[in-house]
């Protein structure tokens, strides 16, 4: 796999993981606080 392809894949995956972790994490923490 070329380094540019790997870079594009990892950055894209990283961005999605970041968005998912941030949003789902916030929901979990805030839901607990609400309870």
Partner 1 sequence: MEKRKKGVRGEEAVLEHSREHWGSKLGLILAMAGNAIGLGNFWRFPYQAAKNGGGAFMIPYFAALLFMGIPLLIVEWSQGRYGGKYGYGTIGPMVYLQAKEGAKKRTALILGSLAGALALSIVVLLNSYYNHIIGWTLGYAWLTATGGYMDSSVDTGSYFVGYIQNPVTVFVFWLITLAILWYVTRGGIQKGLERLAKIAMPSIYVFAAILLIKTLTLGSPIRPEWTPIKGLDFLWAPRWNELNWSSTLAAAGQIFFTLSLGMGIIQNYASYLKDDDDITTSAVATASLNEFAEVILAGTIVIPIAFTFLGSEGLKSGVGLSFIALPNVFRTMIGGSLFGTLWFLLLFFAGITSSIAMFNYLVNFLEEQFNVDRKKASNFIFVLYVIAGLPIALEPILTKTSELLYLTELDNWVGSYLLVVLGLLEIISAIWLFKNKGLEEMNKGSYWKIPKWFYSVVMKFITPAFIIVLLVFSTAEYVANGYLKLIPDFAKAYPNLIPWVFAARIVLISVFVLSFIMVYKALTKVHGDEAGDSK
Q: How far is the CB of 19 from partner 1 (least distance, A)?
A: 4
Task: Give the C-alpha distances (Å, rounded to integers) separating 31 from 17, 18, 21, 26, 35.
Answer: 21, 20, 15, 8, 6
Question: What is the rounded CA–CA span in Å between residue 17 and residue 25?
Answer: 11
Does 5 interact with partner 1 (rule: CB under 8 A)? yes
**# residues contacting partner 1 (CB under 8 A):** 22
Does 32 interact with partner 1 (rule: CB under 8 A)? no
**Which residues are near partner 1 by CB under 8 A?**
1-2, 4-9, 12-13, 15-17, 19-20, 22-24, 26-27, 30-31
């Amino acid at each position: 796999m070329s380094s540019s392809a790997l870079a594009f894949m990892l950055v894209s995956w990283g961005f999605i993981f970041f968005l998912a972790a941030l949003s789902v994490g916030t929901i979990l923490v805030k839901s607990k606080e609400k309870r």
